[in-house]
Amino acid sequence: MRFAKFALVSAALLAAVLPLAAFTPKKEYTMQVNVGPAYDWGIGAQKFADLVAEKTKGQINIKPYFGSSLLAGKQTNWYQAVADGAIDFVVDSTINASSVIRSLNLFSLPFFINTYENVDKIERGKAGQRIIADVERGGVKFLAWGENGFRQLTNSKREVKRPEDVAGLKIRVVGSPIFIDIFKALGADSVNMNWADAVTAFQQGVVDGQENPKSVLTVVKIWEYHKYMTNWNYAIDPLIFGCNMRLWNQFPDDIKAAIQEAALEAAEYEKALARAWLDGDISLNVLKNKFKVTQLPPEPFGPAIAKGMVITNLTPEQRKAFQDKTKTVYTKWIPLIGKDLYELAIEDMK
């Protein structure tokens, strides 16, 4: 009797420790990151890796490969590489996955989402859940939403206040079809290029302009090449913190919990960096109070203004003119994104 009880207890104990014992971590897990380590996005990716190491007591060692170096610079290939397991982890842009996961184009519908409040409502809402399900169905475990930011237009030719001002400008965009359509609707001459090539193109003046968020523009000091910036919040660019799904399923529960926690914490930090100075003092306070950052990021466009950059903020009427001009993008893309998802997003934003 006593022995039977002992045998039972040891069997239960064995079952509890077995999955742990059976798990041997790899020496290094790879991580895809499109930009370099100095960008908010790169800092967030590094923080994620560091927190995973800390929370798993060194068992899981993730190495970020910056500048899409595992993809030979081809940033729009990340989703497939992570889904296939060629790359283990990722902190990368939804735009760079949007040619594979169509619902991600919701974030790029021109002049649709517009405010941080709306971004958060969609990410936490029903539309967000639907998008996360799509991302996971394809083979990438979703861990957290980070943020590159609201994308703004800069160029070297003229101030942009009306759609007519964009017409004829040669604008670099990411190789994602919806962006080509948006700039075509505005009459621009769009060229798609990987980010690494884009920076050289700005330096050499091969293109007149580009569109990217504050978190990217300040790192490349865009004002050295482009005199004009229009803050038009026309598209939001969330980041996905994720992991290959098969790999995820092999992790024991305690490792999963540690990775999930690390992703949420790193993403919150990264988002606060990306939004700092752009949402009043909300994100600056998150950095100061929650993350105990002692040296807060400086006002982002101070150097740009000092250099004479012309920064244009659109009035609601001016924004409306751009919205009207890009209506054709909605006609084509809502069926591709899914009308039901589009409607869920509108509901989420209410």
Residues that bind ligand X2X (CB under 6 A): 34-35, 75, 93, 95-96, 148, 174, 195, 212, 216, 237
Helix (H) or strand (E) holding 8: helix 2-22
Q: How far is the CB of 250 from ligand X2X (least distance, A)?
A: 29
DSSP 312: E
Amino acid, res. 180: I
Q: How far is the CB of 101 from ligand X2X (least distance, A)?
A: 14
Task: Pick between residue 145 and residue 248 the one whose CB is nearest to ligand X2X.
Answer: 145
Q: How far is the CB of 50 from ligand X2X (least distance, A)?
A: 22
Task: Pick between residue 36 and residue 125 the one whose CB is nearest to ligand X2X.
Answer: 36
Task: Pick between residue 28 and residue 224 the one whose CB is nearest to ligand X2X.
Answer: 224
Angle at CA of residue 349, ends 186 and 138, nearest 5°: 80
Instruction: Tabulate helix, strand, coil % of the chain (nearest 5).
Output: 55, 15, 30
For residues 244 and 248, give the distance between their C-alpha atoms in angstroms, rounded to a whole number: 6
Task: Pick between residue 35 and residue 274 the one whose CB is nearest to ligand X2X.
Answer: 35
Task: Pick between residue 35 and residue 113 the one whose CB is nearest to ligand X2X.
Answer: 35
Task: Pick between residue 99 and residue 212 the one whose CB is nearest to ligand X2X.
Answer: 212
Q: How far is the CB of 225 from ligand X2X (least distance, A)?
A: 14
Cα dist from 122 to 106, 126, 137, 236, whole Å: 10, 7, 19, 11
Task: Pick between residue 36 and residue 297 the one whose CB is nearest to ligand X2X.
Answer: 36
E-strand stretches of 223-301: 228-231, 236-244
Q: How far is the CB of 208 from ligand X2X (least distance, A)?
A: 16
Comparing CA positions, the residue from 108, 76, 100, 174 lying closest to residue 333 is 108
Decide: helix, strand or coil at residue 142: strand
Helix (H) or strand (E) holding 18: helix 2-22
For residues 332 and 53, give the distance between their C-alpha atoms in angstroms, rounded to a whole number: 45
Q: How far is the CB of 228 from ligand X2X (least distance, A)?
A: 18
Q: How far is the CB of 258 from ligand X2X (least distance, A)?
A: 28
For residues 222 and 216, give the distance between their C-alpha atoms in angstroms, rounded to a whole number: 9
